[in-house]
Amino acid sequence: MTASVAPSARYAAVPGLLREIGDLKRVRTADAESSMASRAFVRAWSALVAGADPTEVADAEAAAAVAGARLAGIDAGVLAAAGLDAGQAQDVLRRAVDEVAEGVVHPATLERLRSAPPPAVATVGAPAFVDALCRQPRAGATAPGRARLIAEPPEDHGEHCWAVAVYGALLAEDHGADRGEAFLLGLAHHLHNAVLPDAGFAGETLLGEHLDGVVDRLTEDALATLPDDLAVRARLLLAARADADTPLGATFHAADVLDRVLQVHHHARAAAFTVREALDDLELVHASPVQEHQNAVLAAAGLLP
């Protein structure tokens, strides 16, 4: 590990938080068909194309993601529609942030999460590659010469890129990286997959000597659809993927590998889920004036483990 890599103690603390944030890939609400993660990916790109500063977008989206770890689809817009004023809504969001992130992320990162404004409503459309990435499934676990392991439902590239961007913004302080750069790099690191279907490591191996040229050409095609200054900035940041020897490279690769492995953990956890976990650990029949009656009904029906 290089000096730019965060202390191991931080890595031990963050997986629980990142796992809950990653679950926003699977949270949906009645007002849209896509996941909360996919919608945030589109919203972030729309803000950047409209000229928003990447650091400001990173702060707003990271705070929304951390609050969403516990509040799911209840965001600032929903709270406003439910009659809360701005101060009341901010109190609710801050409580959610504190509950899941206090003592986990860097103290300076926590303070930014607690005070960040909600993400701005999109005023311009996102580039075409954004929609393509939100429809392009991830390959899952693959290895050369072996059949792929397919876990349903697959995440899409927009969801993965959003997660890597948010994780990068949350880890940047520990690596000494710029959080806006880490966020933008996470959003942009799979631009080529807007056109190239994902066949995983196995497919990349078979592309062989053509791989780098294919990735570079398709990435440039996507960058060409961005405003010039944003394209230049994203192109420079993408070079940080080459290694983990810089603060930005270390941040990006930490965020990327954490999301890839946490996604596999999700599928393994879902496959092993038991009724006892729901009833005992998660208190599905939670404390209430009618809890005794509900438990009696389940016992009579033979549904208690």
Beta carbons within 8 Å of 214's beta carbon, 6+ residues apart: 192, 196, 207
Q: What is the average pLDDT across 259-274?
A: 84
Average pLDDT, rounded, for the chain: 91
Does residue 3 register a pLDDT over 50? no
Does residue 6 register a pLDDT over 70? no
Share of residues in the chain with pLDDT > 70 (%): 97
Does residue 202 register a pLDDT over 70? yes
Higher-confidence position of 201 and 69: 69
Does residue 251 register a pLDDT over 70? yes
Q: What is the average pLDDT across 136-140?
A: 90
Does residue 278 register a pLDDT over 80? no
Q: What is the per-residue pLDDT for 305?
A: 79
Q: What is the per-residue pLDDT for 5?
A: 52
Residue 268's pLDDT band, with cuts at 50, 70 and 90, is confident
**Which segment of 106-115, 138-147, 205-214, 223-232 scores lowest on mean pLDDT?**
138-147
Q: What is the per-residue pLDDT for 299?
A: 82
Query: Residue 175 and residue 245: Cα distance in Å, rounded?
Result: 11
CA distances from 261 to 46, 47, 265 (A): 28, 29, 6
Query: Residue 8 and residue 16: Cα distance in Å, rounded?
Result: 15
Report the interhelical angle of 36-49 vs 179-188 (nearest 10°).
Answer: 110
In a 13 Å sphere around the CA of 70, the CA atoms on its Cβ side amount to 15
Q: Is the separation of the CB atoms in 128 and 223 below 8 Å?
A: no
CA distances from 116 to 63, 90, 120, 271 (A): 6, 9, 11, 36
Q: What is the per-residue pLDDT for 295?
A: 83
Q: What is the per-residue pLDDT for 62?
A: 98
Higher-confidence position of 299 and 160: 160
Q: What is the average pLDDT across 151-179?
A: 94
Q: What is the average pLDDT across 16-32?
A: 95
Share of residues in the chain with pLDDT > 90 (%): 71
Q: What is the average pLDDT across 157-183?
A: 96
* Triad 159, 161, 167: Cα angle to 5°: 100
CA distances from 100 to 19, 73, 96, 227 (A): 11, 16, 7, 36
Predicted TM-score (pTM) of the model is 0.89
Beta carbons within 8 Å of 156's beta carbon, 6+ residues apart: 38, 133, 134, 135, 136, 137, 138
pLDDT tens string 144-153: 888 877 777 8
Does residue 2 register a pLDDT over 70? no
Does residue 7 register a pLDDT over 80? no
pLDDT tens string 47-99: 999 999 999 999 999 999 999 999 999 999 999 999 999 999 999 999 999 99
Residue with tokens 């405003």: 227
